[in-house]
Structure 1
């Protein structure tokens, strides 16, 4: 489970880059990007972490992730379908001016049953999200113009209806510095996860005292360093369980665990089942 700066590339001939996923992925590691990400819940329940806060979303709820916000999906027993819409404000100069430096203070827009068909913030955003999803799916003549218009509506809606604050240059620089340090730390873990990694080692790599690093890491990722490293090692193990024919003991060693007993215990804590049960379920 690696916190990383997610770089998204446009490999198609779209008139502008906007990415829509309909997925039921159960977990996704901490990451951030210079784009707006909007999540619309199709299933029953979805848990999202952002920085040091956790949110529980339900059917038709909406969650808006601002640029540079560290966020992640939290593992839970049941799968949950969702639509994820990602777009770059720099698509249009006006959108960039509106949204660059905006910090969203309340990213969760819960669904409220509106029997009177009165205006609500939720219905406003739901209409735009589903409209974009439909236009991108059907791709009728002029769909790109419809999508562009709805992106403007979303940008205006964020500014008008969602509690936010405009960050000054000093605050923006502080945010960028925080993300640079986090990227440096996660790179260190990625390069050394097969060894014993101590809090002192990681704090030193970021030029922090252990006390200040502990606070920084928890505030930024929502988890302790130990939780993060365990999740990261388990994510490596999961990849090997799915894509290799290696034995459990080989996978345990190659994912950075010093014993099969520890590997089984940590894997079950993170995934809710043993490595052998997980592998069996994949191929059933």
Structure 2
């Protein structure tokens, strides 16, 4: 399996492939890379925390997580994560599209259980702790999915689909998934507004990006937008823009021979000294040292 620090935002690609849209991402967060950036995707995500502790934000609500926790992130939920100070966080993220469980014949399983999940019509549990009811059976099912994915027997895809159906049978059967429509409310409106701002940042991070431009998108004053973004995400808009730019800079440091100055300009930093200072504050090393460390280790 591919091991990396996840840094995607609104994901456009396919996890796995068209015929089997799922992939497992072993993820490690530590003091050198302590955050999983704010992002969302069309797929459901299941997380099994192997070690460490931290916080997970899902649809702008904060959830403390620790070793052993199981997390269910429904499609289209905006989420991010970070470790606690002086702690690492290791987990498997199982990302899959619910379409892979739908029947082309539109049978009762598809209509009653899968389609409502895809449509966001149902409420799901977010975090299951080790003392949660039925935790052991749900954890066992997640472990089975990971093992099948790792071993890759000739029938591993069949095993994974069977385990996913078993997972939802457990969640529905034990009442974790409630057949209650999720009504529109102020919180969901705020989430959609944040998505608009984030998507614009992702598409224009390498350009001059005044806060007023983002404020205009949401029809806010600059002052109101700054407060709104910080209140909803927990960090400033400038911090988020810099995070996006820095993570793209890291990719260029490892995948190209561009100079540090060229990379800084490529990702939207106009002041090279500010780029180096911001990079060092986040990664505890200079861009050149980062390149030397990680290129030499591959």
**Same fold judged by TM-score > 0.5?**
yes
Equivalent position SS for 1:4: coil
- Corresponding pairs, count: 273
Residue of 151, 160, 167 corresponding to 1:147? 160
Residue of 11, 23, 27 corresponding to 2:17? 11
| CA distance in 2: counterparts of 1:7 and 1:172, whole angstroms | 30
CA 1:52–1:215: 2 relative to 1, 3 Å:
farther
Residue of 75, 82, 85 corresponding to 2:94? 85
| CA distance in 2: counterparts of 1:5 and 1:260, whole angstroms | 29
Aligned-pair CA distance for 1:130: 0.7
| CA distance in 1: counterparts of 2:116 and 2:67, whole angstroms | 29
| CA distance in 2: counterparts of 1:34 and 1:4, whole angstroms | 9
Residue of 252, 274, 278 corresponding to 1:266? 278
* 1:198-236 deviation line (CA, Å, top 9, x unaligned): 321111123333355345534654432111111011112
Contact 2:44–2:75 (8 Å) recurs in 1: yes
* 1:173-204 deviation line (CA, Å, top 9, x unaligned): 9848944x445433432454344423211111
Match of 2:143 in 1: 130
| CA distance in 2: counterparts of 1:146 and 1:2, whole angstroms | 28
CA 1:89–1:95: 2 relative to 1, 3 Å:
farther
CA 1:260–1:218: 2 relative to 1, 3 Å:
same
CA 1:243–1:35: 2 relative to 1, 3 Å:
closer
Match of 2:255 in 1: 243
* 1:229-250 deviation line (CA, Å, top 9, x unaligned): 1101111221221122222233
Unaligned runs of 5+ in 1: 113-118
Match of 1:110 in 2: 129
Aligned-pair CA distance for 1:163: 7.7
Determine if the alignment matches structure 1 residue 257 to structure 2 residue 265.
no
* 1:18-53 deviation line (CA, Å, top 9, x unaligned): 332334365443221232211112233454333334
Contact 1:101–1:172 (8 Å) recurs in 2: no
Match of 2:107 in 1: none
Q: How does 1:1-284 map to 2 (within 5 A)?
A: 3-8=9-14, 10-11=16-17, 13-14=19-20, 17-24=21-28, 26=33, 27-45=35-53, 47-74=55-82, 80-90=89-99, 91-92=101-102, 93=110, 94-97=112-115, 99=117, 100-104=120-124, 107-112=126-131, 120-140=133-153, 143-159=156-172, 160=174, 162=176, 166-168=180-182, 170-171=183-184, 175=188, 178-179=191-192, 181-214=193-226, 216-218=228-230, 221-284=233-296
Unaligned runs of 5+ in 2: 1-6, 103-109
Equivalent position SS for 1:126: helix
Contact 2:60–2:79 (8 Å) recurs in 1: no
| CA distance in 1: counterparts of 2:233 and 2:279, whole angstroms | 20
Contact 1:43–1:82 (8 Å) recurs in 2: yes
TM-score, normalization: structure 2?
0.74
